[in-house]
Amino acid sequence: MAQAAIELIGINKSFGAVRANRDINLEIGRGTIHGIVGENGAGKSTLMSILYGFYQADSGEIRVGGQPASIKTPNDAIALGIGMVHQHFMLVDNFTVLDNVILGAESDALLKKSIAKARSELERLEREYGLEVDPDAIIEELPVGLQQRVEILKALYRGAEILILDEPTGVLTPAEADHLFRILGQLKDQGKTVVLITHKLREIMAITDTVSVMRQGTMVATRETRKTTVEELAELMVGRRVLLRVEKGEAEAGAVKLAVKNLTVKDTRGVTMVDDISFDIRAGEIVGIAGVAGNGQSELLEAISGIRRAVSGSVMLDGKPIDLTGAADPGELRDRGLAHVPEDRHHVGLVLAFEENENSILGYHDDPRYLKGPFLNIDAIRNDARDKIAKYDIRPADCRLKTANFSGGNQQKIVLAREMEQDPGVLIVGQPTRGVDVGAIEFIHKRLIAMRDQGKAVLVVSVELDEIRSLSDRILVMFAGRIVGERGPEATEGELGLLMAGIEHQEAAL
């Protein structure tokens, strides 16, 4: 074992009646990549937030470099050489990269020296770690992968020797994730210590030296990565054997439920994102759309669900048209049996300041089940929310908790429970398992297959090729706003990858 960079000894943390961390002992070797895995709500992020000074442990000890450390604020952690890249980035959107890097670390009142120093240091860090990014770019104009690089640069600029990354690939494309792993490998080669919090076991196997497993607030095991398997880690996480592949029978496709014809959609800049595409989905089948993020999938889902106006084309739901002129109302489409799980749960799927029970009926609040005369029936709403919490294993099991206080995976389950439990005829889902742990992935996949087998039409958009191949009865591939191919679930990852890059498989074989 390498010399310990971090030691956590007997860490306990409770939030009211919820015990997030129970007697945690953890040692992280210097100059290693150490993974921490566990189900959503297992206490991983809480533990790292204690290490970074966001929370204070109720009891226990932290040692950094073998010495006892008092970490009461993030500034204390930064002073000890600890940096953290959060799952949801802590950046000022309308500031430049340079502004964000020096924010809170300014060395002079007029900022002239700070800016000059930061520009020089960023150039060095970019060369050393492959973290290229334009220092004068505005954050909100950067793709999410580059925004993440800015967060890493912020930590390194402040002298981080220990870097904590919380679910770093949850918002990245496969190519961006691969580049991130190369960067983390370079950091390790330079002697940095990396702590990787993730639910993606294949990433753990690919990049970490050591992995620790948490379950229900406790540390249940630590393994050398080369001496364990995905199956063992999944079982340790969940406490039972987990099915890592989707089991489903042959689809029995029926009548067309959703028909899209010659659909064209532009974004807010007037750029064509969906370019004259046509397809249909039948009752009793799952159609998956594969593609690198940013190739029109998001705009397609928004147009079908009534959120975004289409330029031209037609969409038919159960043989009746959806108004594409801008008058389409998502509430009307819900009433017609179309449910939508959006890709961005924070900005579209949830109101984070609301309680869980309020979000569990969001968009369906005029349903007679939730009303008492002209008023909301609060008891009925909360009882319904408790039923969904139990059925979807949402943690913590508290319908009065603010939704912002749930982990990302449990927030996803709140949205899925709300939409699936309405028994829609057509379900469209964007990134169904983004930020979701292995046990919940198994559950969500089973629910989607069950909906298919009940005769529902399901459209799934995902950047996870394994997920698309496992779930789909038919796979459509999008590139540059167009459908460039249709394949069956037997298609290989390489074949789909070529289509996603705009290369026909037949062309590549010549």
Q: Is the pLDDT of residue 244 over 60?
A: no
CA 25 to chain centre: 28
Q: Place 493 in a pLDDT band, splitting at 50, 70 and 90.
A: confident
Domain spanning 4-238: CATH 3.40.50.720? no
pLDDT band of 247, cuts 50, 70, 90: confident
| CA pair distance 168, 148, nearest whole angstrom | 8
Start-end of CATH 3.40.50.300 domains in the chain = 4-238, 256-337+424-509
Of the CATH numbers 3.40.50.300, 3.30.530.20, 3.40.47.10, 3.40.50.1100, which one belongs to the domain with range 256-337+424-509? 3.40.50.300
- Confidence bin at 510 (pLDDT 50/70/90): very low
In this prediction, residues 485-491 reach a mean pLDDT of 91
Distances, alpha carbon 42 to alpha carbons 94, 207, 437, in Å: 35, 22, 10
| C-alpha distances out from residue 366 to 343, 374, 408, 487, Å | 24, 9, 27, 41
Neighbours of 377 (CB within 10 A): 15
Asked if residue 507 has pLDDT above 50, the reply is no
Q: Which residue has the tokens 């498989």?
A: 505
- Averaged pLDDT for residues 492-506: 76
pLDDT at 107 over 90: no
SS3 82: strand
Per-residue pLDDT band at 251 (split at 50, 70, 90):
confident
Task: State residue 157's pLDDT score.
Answer: 86
Is residue 224 pLDDT above 70, yes or no? yes
pTM of full prediction above 0.75: no
> 28-32, 54-58, 199-203, 323-327: which has the minimum mean pLDDT?
323-327
pLDDT digits (tens, 9 = 90+) for 168-210: 876 676 677 788 888 899 999 989 999 999 877 888 998 999 9
Mean of per-residue pLDDT scores for the chain: 88
Would you say residue 505 has pLDDT above 70?
no
Q: Quote the DSSP letter at residue 96.
A: B
User: What proportion of the chain, given as a percentage, has pLDDT over 70?
Assistant: 94
pLDDT greater than 80 at residue 93? yes
Q: Which residue has the higher pLDDT, 316 or 501?
A: 316
The band of 214, judged by pLDDT with boundaries at 50, 70 and 90, is very high
pLDDT in tens, 122-171: 888 888 887 888 888 998 888 777 888 888 888 888 889 999 998 887 66
Q: d(Cα 298, Cα 171) in Å, to the nearest integer?
A: 13
| Length of the chain counted residue by residue | 510
Q: Picking from 17-31, 159-173, 311-325, which range would have the lowest pLDDT averaged per residue? A: 159-173
**pLDDT band (50, 70, 90) for residue 267:** confident
For residue 337, the SS3 value is coil
Q: How does pLDDT run across 329-352, given as a tens digit for each residue?
A: 888 899 999 999 998 888 889 999
Residues 6+ apart with CB under 8 A from 403: 350, 351, 352, 353, 354, 355, 356, 358, 359, 411, 414
Cross-strand partners of 164: 84, 195
Mean pLDDT value of segment 349-371: 95
pLDDT in tens, 381-428: 999 999 999 999 898 899 999 999 887 788 999 999 999 999 999 999
Mean pLDDT of 59-78: 94
Residue 39 backbone dihedrals phi, psi, to 5 degrees: -65, 165
**What's the confidence (pLDDT) of residue 2?**
60
Q: Is the confidence at residue 29, as pLDDT, over 50?
A: yes
DSSP 149-204: HHHHHHHHHTT-SEEEEESTTTT--HHHHHHHHHHHHHHHHTT-EEEEE-S-HHHH
Predicted confidence at residue 111, as pLDDT, reads 66
CB 105 within 8 A of CB 185: no
